[in-house]
Amino acid sequence: MKTPYKNIYNVLKLNRFIVLAVVVCALLSSTFSVWMVFNTNQKALNSAFAINTDGSIIPLKLVTQKENFRVEALAHLDLFHNYFYNIDASNYERNLEKALWLGNSSVDNIYRQKKADGVYNRLLQYSLVQKVLSIDSRISENNGSYGFTTTTIFEINRGSIIDTYELVSTGNLIMVDRNFPNNPHGLLITNYFENTLKKLNDEN
């Protein structure tokens, strides 16, 4: 009994399909391998590590971001406290307007309270000069939110009398869009509160 021959065209079609399938699989495999190598290399370049004080490993990129945030935050707080407390009869309106850009309604509430208490009227009436001498801020982080405590030393020049005060204020910082020149650091002060105000001259 003779063995029947397969149709030559069917055999060629099958062979061609197998060859194409193998070529496509090889190309896909090669492309995926190249992508994996490239991706791994990029991660290795961008993910150097640093050792924390407790021995844990921290991505260096995260460390850099936090260092940059700290620099921006300290500069933002320094700018705000200078604008808000370094005032006299000639510049207080301009400085306070700039300060209000750097905080939310909690800052505006303190400004309105001071205005209602006659702080700025006395500034005009007696030509007082309130000058900031130093600003010392400490930044803290808790579960991704940032708080601060700032100690501001300023003096009020009443002509023949100069009184020096220490103000401790607290609040939080959130990130917002930069708005140059109104908010160059892209941060906003929230929950701002003047905790204590102490007259330093009384200690001498």
Task: State the DSSP H helix or E strand holding residue 125, giving kind and residue range, or none if neither.
Answer: helix 119-125
For residue 1, what pLDDT is reported? 55
93 pLDDT more than 70: yes
The residue among 136 and 179 whose pLDDT is bigger is: 136
110 pLDDT more than 80: yes
The residue among 158 and 62 whose pLDDT is bigger is: 158
> What percent of the chain is modeled with pLDDT above 70?
81
Q: What is the mean pLDDT of the chain?
A: 85
Residue type for 75, please?
A
For residue 7, what pLDDT is reported? 67
What is the torsion angle, in degrees rounded to the nearest 10, for the CA atoms of residue 53, residue 57, residue 58 and residue 60?
A: 100
Token readout for 102 is: 């750097």
When pLDDT is averaged across residues 150-157 and rounded to a whole number, the result is 97
pLDDT confidence bin for 8, thresholds 50/70/90: confident
The residue among 19 and 57 whose pLDDT is bigger is: 19
165 pLDDT more than 80: yes
Q: Which residue has the tokens 């910082």?
A: 173
Task: State the DSSP H helix or E strand holding residue 43, giving kind and residue range, or none if neither.
Answer: helix 8-46
Between the two ends of the chain, the Cα-to-Cα distance in Å is 125
Extended beta strands in 47-200, E state: 49-51, 57-59, 87-88, 129-142, 145-157, 162-175, 187-199
For residue 83, what pLDDT is reported? 97
Candidate from 9-23, 31-45, 100-114, 125-139 with smallest mean pLDDT: 31-45
204 pLDDT more than 50: no
When pLDDT is averaged across residues 131-142 and rounded to a whole number, the result is 95
**Domains, the chain:** 61-200 (3.10.450.230)
